[in-house]
Chain A
């Protein structure tokens, strides 16, 4: 695939951050998103590095979810959404007209805020994505399902009851099942939209641990409103407010010496 060498950022909210250019998997360029006439994301530009965890933080309604959902074009299914700007995935704009949205969604998997397994068996949940993308054969299917469940750290808990309904699992297990389901189609990027907001601390810790392991293989973007979580698991951190990118930097820098006053105010809990 063609790697694009980025010219200097266009003016606006660019942040000086030193990326290793060849490691950039996703480049968001001057992204604007409107719901009907309300602009939810304003001129956002940022680069997301391969095999790193990039967190998006900010107060409720700041456009975090809208931004992350733009990366696999999930906003397409909401009527009245308008997108302007570019999101380059390995150098190719996913909003180009000749792009097949199905291909994008296979390359960019997503895990949602509330675990949403289908009312089917555990096996069928993980098999779903594989089956709609062409049935790979029974043996291969079983292997891929096992591997995905192992990658999602769920295999040992469910290997003896793959035929049981996914809805019989606990909340944390359901969320890991959703992760396995997303991994099964072998994406390159996995988006997590507040994956722990409905989980207890123990289940949350497991998911966080898992995300750390997953970055070996995948590029990860996570939206969270839990700042400690962002600090714990991310390599890069984006602070968004009212749809604008306020600051984007290495996570330790954001949490120790943020360059903007408002970032400091937010991460120290003065508002939000």
Chain B
């Protein structure tokens, strides 16, 4: 009897611990809505999302987040252009081609990339990548969308590689055997059977990599250049939603319109990353079902 009660107590305790993160999430959502929504009393939905100007401190202020939204999407797209080929190719190499010894070297190295603090990436970007980009393309400034994309791309590679690699190595051996038995060589088998069979998992990896890039703050704050204008090329400075919040939150008056506008941006970011995560989850489920 006593033992059963003790076990029950422990069970409840652990349940409480695991509820903790849900409570936290709920708290964040509630605060985002509570502090973000009031901005729509001041500005309309359309003006907020499609307004071309973000001048929160002007009189009267402009709260158009289009430049910031596009800035985020712009650098994220750039990052994916870099990270998807590199990340997926690394995954294919690690799981299908590399000798175990080389695999043992490359895999931890890529995973270590994920452990580098983003401020270090930002610092590296300012000191090394930006001057290189500036010199190579002959630009007036090195802090621009391209530099941000390169760094975000490198930061997204570990996510894309490790999830893709899981997906590729979980393709049943029987598929490969069938392919070999039909006279395919290793390359044909990898490209035409193994990778397509892992397509669901690879898409999940790309979506999560995208989430990683879109939510990144410190690096883009340091290297993207910070101009809140609608991006037209990769060589111009841009400002993302995350960088805007980070840069301006400290200077606003709590409860002001600007304050609420920043929360509304956070809300947009939250919805964006949440849908990416849900999308990734749906794909993963579909993928599992397909391979049984």
Is there an interface contact between B178 and A178, defined as CB atoms closer than 8 Å?
yes
Give A129 to B188 CA distance when docked, in angstroms: 11
- How many of B's residues come within 8 Å of A, CB to CB? 21
**Does B185 lie at the interface of the complex (its beta carbon under 8 Å from any beta carbon of A)?**
yes
**Does B95 lie at the interface of the complex (its beta carbon under 8 Å from any beta carbon of A)?**
no
| B177-192 interface code vs A (CB 8 A; 1 in, 0 out) | 1111111110010001
Is there an interface contact between B291 and A102, defined as CB atoms closer than 8 Å?
no
Q: Which residues of B contact A72 (CB under 8 A)?
A: 181
Give A109 to B180 CA distance when docked, in angstroms: 10
**Does B197 lie at the interface of the complex (its beta carbon under 8 Å from any beta carbon of A)?**
yes
Q: Which residues of A contact B188 (CB under 8 A)?
A: 132
Is there an interface contact between B174 and A128, defined as CB atoms closer than 8 Å?
no
Q: Which residues of B contact A110 (CB under 8 A)?
A: 181
**Does B172 lie at the interface of the complex (its beta carbon under 8 Å from any beta carbon of A)?**
yes
A119 contact from B176, B183, B197, Cβ within 8 A: B197
User: Given that A102-B183, A167-B290 are known contacts, is A120 also in contact with B178, CB under 8 Å in the complex?
Assistant: no
| B157-179 interface code vs A (CB 8 A; 1 in, 0 out) | 00000000000000010111111
**Does B196 lie at the interface of the complex (its beta carbon under 8 Å from any beta carbon of A)?**
yes
B182 contact from A103, A117, A119, A128, Cβ within 8 A: A128
Give A117 to B180 CA distance when docked, in angstroms: 13
Which residue of chain A lies nearest to B292 when distances are taken between CB atoms in the complex? A167
Give A131 to B176 CA distance when docked, in angstroms: 16
Is there an interface contact between A182 and B182, defined as CB atoms closer than 8 Å?
yes
**Does B193 lie at the interface of the complex (its beta carbon under 8 Å from any beta carbon of A)?**
yes
Is there an interface contact between B182 and A129, defined as CB atoms closer than 8 Å?
yes
Which residue of chain B lies nearest to A128 when distances are taken between CB atoms in the complex? B182
B183 contact from A116, A120, A133, A178, Cβ within 8 A: A133
Q: Which residues of B contact A119 (CB under 8 A)?
A: 175, 196-197, 290-291
Q: Which residues of B contact A106 (CB under 8 A)?
A: 182-183
Is there an interface contact between B177 and A77, defined as CB atoms closer than 8 Å?
yes
**Does A56 lie at the interface of the complex (its beta carbon under 8 Å from any beta carbon of B)?**
no
**Does A181 lie at the interface of the complex (its beta carbon under 8 Å from any beta carbon of B)?**
yes
| A132-152 interface code vs B (CB 8 A; 1 in, 0 out) | 110000000000000000000
Q: Which residues of B contact A131 (CB under 8 A)?
A: 192
Q: Which residues of A contact B196 (CB under 8 A)?
A: 118-120
**Does A4 lie at the interface of the complex (its beta carbon under 8 Å from any beta carbon of B)?**
no
Q: Which of B172, B176, B192, B292 has the most CB of A within 10 A?
A: B192
**Nearest Cβ in chain B — how far from A190, in angstroms?**
10
A74 contact from B172, B181, B291, Cβ within 8 A: B181
Is there an interface contact between A109 and B197, defined as CB atoms closer than 8 Å?
no
B180 contact from A77, A118, A167, A182, Cβ within 8 A: A77
Give A186 to B192 CA distance when docked, in angstroms: 21
8 CB-based A-B contacts, threshold 8 Å:
A77-B176, A103-B183, A118-B193, A128-B193, A132-B184, A167-B292, A181-B182, A182-B181
B residues contacting A by CB (< 8 A) are: 172, 174-185, 188, 192-193, 196-197, 290-292
A residues contacting B by CB (< 8 A) are: 72, 74, 77, 102-103, 105-106, 109-110, 112, 114, 116-120, 128-129, 131-133, 167, 178, 181-182, 185
* Interface contacts beyond A116-B177, A119-B196: sample of 4 additional A-B pairs, CB < 8 Å, sorted by A: A109-B182, A116-B172, A119-B291, A128-B182
